[in-house]
């Protein structure tokens, strides 16, 4: 079925992104350098260049419901490679912020669960506790033994610790989370 463009104010979504991050996606020439350099493009539902095109065409629903914006690692490879100097990683952040404000959840519930567990780990410890993250995520997604064979190898190489390393003063971390409440949407009952 062909995609019907939103004929309302075609620039509304683009202007919203511009107001959040100061990046004008109109400058994107669709060269594809961002997508070809992205280290996790193979996992994405839509390539970074496609997300920018959705914004240009006011295809809000397609952009905001794409798992791509949640999978982006914000490594900034796309941003560095862009010949138009567009902060694509920043745009992905802005799209996540819009989703949280509008209470739009990722299409894949596992992505939402990972983000929740990841942020709670940082909030509680001041940094990510990898073992706790993996264990909680695997339990939450009903796959308790996923990657279990990697555990002993990771322990043997000193990559995993049994107990979390906490930062000495967690106050600044808690303050950052408190300040970011508008960015991180509160839990809603489903």
How far apart CA 67 and CA 9 sit, in angstroms, is 25
Confidence of residue 2 (pLDDT cuts 50, 70, 90): low
Mean pLDDT of the chain: 87
What confidence tens digit (pLDDT) does each residue in 24-73 have? Answer: 999 999 999 999 999 999 999 999 999 999 999 999 999 999 999 999 98
What are the sequence ranges of the domains in the chain?
12-102, 109-179
How far apart CA 84 and CA 32 sit, in angstroms, is 12
CATH homologous superfamily of 12-102 equals Alpha-helical ferredoxin (1.10.1060.10)
Angstrom CA distances, 104 to 109, 141, 168, 187, stand at: 12, 20, 35, 12
Q: What is the pTM of this model?
A: 0.74
**What was the pLDDT predicted at 182?**
53
**What was the pLDDT predicted at 1?**
59
């Amino acid at each position: 079925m062909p995609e019907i463009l939103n004929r309302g104010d075609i620039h509304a979504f683009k202007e919203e992104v511009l107001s959040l991050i100061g990046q004008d996606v109109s400058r994107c020439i669709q060269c594809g350098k961002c997508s070809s350099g992205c280290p996790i493009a193979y996992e994405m539902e839509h390539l970074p260049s496609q997300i920018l095109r959705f914004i240009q065409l006011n295809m809000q629903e397609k952009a905001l419901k794409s798992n791509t914006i949640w999978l982006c690692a914000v490594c900034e490879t796309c941003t560095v490679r862009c010949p138009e100097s567009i902060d694509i990683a920043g745009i992905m952040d802005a799209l996540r912020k819009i989703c949280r404000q509008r209470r739009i959840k990722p299409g894949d519930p596992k992505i939402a669960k990972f983000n929740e567990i990841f942020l709670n780990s940082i909030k509680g410890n001041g940094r990510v506790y990898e073992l706790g993250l993996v264990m909680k995520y695997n339990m939450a997604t009903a796959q308790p033994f996923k990657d279990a064979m990697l555990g002993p190898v990771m322990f043997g190489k000193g990559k995993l610790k049994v107990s979390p390393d906490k930062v000495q003063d967690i106050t600044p971390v808690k303050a950052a989370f408190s300040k970011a409440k508008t960015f991180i949407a509160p839990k809603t009952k489903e």
